[in-house]
Amino acid sequence: MAREFMKRTARLGQVFTRLLWLEVFVASLLLALALLWQSWRSVGLWQALEWSFGSVLLSVVAALPPLLMIPLVEMRQSQRFAWVRAFRQTITTRLVPLVGTMPLSEVLAVSCLAGVSEEVFFRGVLQHEIGLVPASLVFGVLHALSVPYMLWATAVGCYLGWLTQVSGNLWLPITTHALVDIVGLGYIRFVIAPRATDVSPPLDA
């Protein structure tokens, strides 16, 4: 059984390396689109990206509301709700196979790449052009692993868009998004995935 797990882990390790490169590709594409849009439409991207240490500090608190989904999904009492069960099933069937043996370094890399590229494009460019709600709907649809997951992603998109509006700065949603992904993916990787397989893979590789 241990040998089979090691073989499976080795095969998945190759997939995860490709997954990281896929994230690099998607992030590069989104950033390129944002830069092209800025040069064409002058959406104020550079002003929104002015460094703000206060926004980075505030993101530690701002990341807490989206992360409330973790205890909600884990609570036994919430399992009586069909949408919570469906959300949890999405995690176990769609996300655990993707991140279940990711090294910590890759969790951090994917989270930071997503935080920067998605916020620069969706909040820095798209929201500026079509508004908070439409941009959040597009964001949710592009994260549609399931209907409940899409609705949650849309709500998070609205929240990140609101943070952008009230702060006038992209560093608050960027660092908030990255922190939510680090904690969320990290929890799936180091808590849910080992529990699902009854095997604890190494912390890093």
Three-state DSSP at 72 gives helix
pLDDT bin (cut points 50, 70, 90) of residue 116 is very high
**What pLDDT is attached to residue 200?**
47
Phi-psi region of 204 (alpha: psi -120 to 50; beta: other; left: phi over 0): beta
Considering only residues 170 and 5, tell me which one the structure prediction assigns the higher pLDDT.
170
**What pLDDT is attached to residue 195?**
85
pLDDT bin (cut points 50, 70, 90) of residue 127 is very high
DSSP secondary structure code for residue 132 in this structure: H
Lowest mean pLDDT, pick from 16-30, 60-74, 181-195: 16-30
Angle, helices 53-62 vs 147-167, to 10°: value is 140
Mean pLDDT (whole number) for 107-120: 96
**What pLDDT is attached to residue 2?**
53
Considering only residues 163 and 200, tell me which one the structure prediction assigns the higher pLDDT.
163
Considering only residues 20 and 71, tell me which one the structure prediction assigns the higher pLDDT.
71
pLDDT at residue 201 tops 70: no
Three-state DSSP at 59 gives helix
pLDDT at residue 8 tops 60: no
Kindly state the greatest CA–CA separation across the chain: 58
pLDDT bin (cut points 50, 70, 90) of residue 16 is low
Contact status, residue 111 vs residue 185, Cβ threshold 8 Å: yes
